Amino acid sequence: VASNGEDVVKKSSKEAFGLLPDVQAAITRLSSLKGVGPATASAVLAAGAPDLTAFMSDEAVEILPGLKPIQYTAKHYALYLDKMVALAAKLNKVDPQRDWTPHRLELCLWAMTTAARLQLQLLTDVDVKGSGTQEKTPDPDRDQRPAKKLKIL
């Protein structure tokens, strides 16, 4: 990647972003740089166009059905992005905030996969079927807090 001159990188990046919303053409343009494949190109595009693209992280690709084994090709990225766009649209239908993008979805899939791999208990108190959280274990500090004194007038 360091063998690409600054001017070449700037020119290729500008041209790639100019090709949007044709994501595949933009991926192809960035992939013409030395040492840049579709996954790296997707990282660049996701930073500048998160509503159209998603970074092709291993964690997100691995969790989506039908995409194993991971292939770092433009064709595989197209399959991945199609799934991410469809899932983001599906989430926007059920989420009242309607702020899901392919990039945001990738970040969530990455965090969920990484937490599971590290065996973090990030989602133990989240009620995924409802809209809030449910407390499964009592707060151990709750009963140990001093009670507030009532002021009697």
pLDDT of residue 115: 86
Q: What mean pLDDT comes out for the span 76-85?
A: 98
Sequence spans of domains, the chain: 6-117
pLDDT digits 0-9 by tens, 40-66: 999 999 999 999 999 999 999 999 999
Contact call for residues 50 and 102 (beta carbons, < 8 A): yes
Residue 83, number of CB atoms within 10 A of its CB: 19
pLDDT of residue 134: 46
Between 33 and 152, residue with greater pLDDT: 33
CA-to-CA distance for 97 and 109, rounded, in angstroms?
19
- Mean pLDDT rounded to a whole number for the chain: 86
pLDDT of residue 122: 63
